[in-house]
Amino acid sequence: MTMLKLLGFPASNYYNMVKMALMEKGAAYEDVRVYSGSKEEFLSKSAMGKVPCLETPDGFLTETSVILDYIEDAVDGPSFYPADPYERARVRELVKYSELYLELPARRCYGEAFFGTGPVSQEVKDSVRPVLERGCSAIKRRGRFTPYLAGDTLTYADMVFLHSFPMAASVAHSVFDWNLTEELPQAQALLEHLNQRPVVAQIAEDTKQGMKEFRKAYGMAD
Ligand SMILES: N[C@@H](CCC(=O)N[C@@H](CS)C(=O)NCC(=O)O)C(=O)O
């Protein structure tokens, strides 16, 4: 297979989910630095103008959970889905919970929490907080934490959670003065466990550097 190319930037949590999958698979891939945007040249690769975008021998792919499924199907290496169909679906369910009920609601407050673009409206705050609360409660009910989110092996559910919960927790802390870990105490041990993986340590290091480059690219203060 021709080498895969991962388009994106290390300050992006979605890019890091895909990067983690590729690295945990032990895949050879080329990292192509692209910041999201609406130029025609980029839209021809990523129709929503978002990253990550994966260039495969057959064409481009976007949407993180779709890319993760492609990696599982097309790339050699360890599997990050259980073999059993129900257990596999449960992993996908947990992926959805993190994406829809942690990452996306939290993202509505990223401007205030991370980019200094001013406070979000009370209306947004009032709609974000209950979703985060229910998201944590759902993950508490459905997660296994033994020690991984979906059971005793690393799955894509961990990769998505690892790059969603901490963002949501930062938003909760800075926007709501709220400790999200109290809603989902199991998150702490899971994150500590995942942070011990060499791949995760490498991604964290790259993200630190990537954050500086991102701020420079967008003319933000350090
Ligand atoms: N649903 C997309 C979300 C990806 C996303 O929001 N990426 C951000 C960077 S972390 C982005 O490209 N934002 C630019 C934009 O929304 O226009 C996925 O699953 O990959």
What ranges do the domains of the chain cover?
Answer: 4-78, 85-216
Report in angstroms the alpha-carbon separations of 19 from 13, 142, 185: 10, 26, 27
* Contact 63 CB / ligand 1 (< 6 Å): yes
Q: What is the pTM of this model?
A: 0.97
Q: Which two tokens stand for residue 55?
A: 């260039």
> What pLDDT does 1 receive?
63
Residue 173 has what pLDDT? 98
CA 49 to chain centre: 17
User: Could you read off the pLDDT of 87-131 as tens digits, one per residue?
Assistant: 999 999 999 999 999 999 999 999 999 988 889 999 999 999 999
3-class state of residue 144 by DSSP: coil
Predicted pLDDT of residue 220:
77
> CA torsion sign, 149 to 154 to 157 to 158?
positive
**Cα(145) to centroid of ligand 1, in Å?**
28
pLDDT given for residue 222 in this prediction? 67
Q: Given this chain, do its domains 4-78 and 85-216 carry the same CATH topology?
A: no
Strand partners, 6: 31, 54
Instruction: Report the C-alpha gap between 157 and 181 in whole angstroms.
Output: 18
CATH number attached to the domain at 4-78: 3.40.30.10
Pocket of ligand 1 contains residue 14 by CB under 6 Å: yes
CA dist 216 and 210 (Å) reads: 10
pLDDT score recorded for residue 219: 78
Give me the CATH topology for the region 85-216.
Glutathione S-transferase Yfyf (Class Pi); Chain A, domain 2 (1.20.1050)
12 in ligand 1 pocket by Cβ < 6 Å? Answer: yes
Per-residue pLDDT of the chain (222 residues; tens, 9 = 90+): 679 999 999 999 999 999 999 999 999 999 999 997 889 999 999 999 999 999 999 999 999 999 999 999 999 999 999 999 999 999 999 999 999 999 999 999 999 999 888 899 999 999 999 999 999 999 999 999 999 999 999 999 999 999 999 999 999 999 999 999 999 999 999 999 999 999 999 999 999 999 888 888 887 766
Terminus-to-terminus CA distance in the chain, angstroms? Answer: 40
**Residue 54: φ, ψ to 5°:** -110, 125
Cα-based distances in Å from 184 to 9, 130, 139, 148:
29, 14, 8, 14
Q: Rounded to the nearest whole angstrom, what is the distance from the C-alpha of residue 146 to the centroid of ligand 1?
A: 30
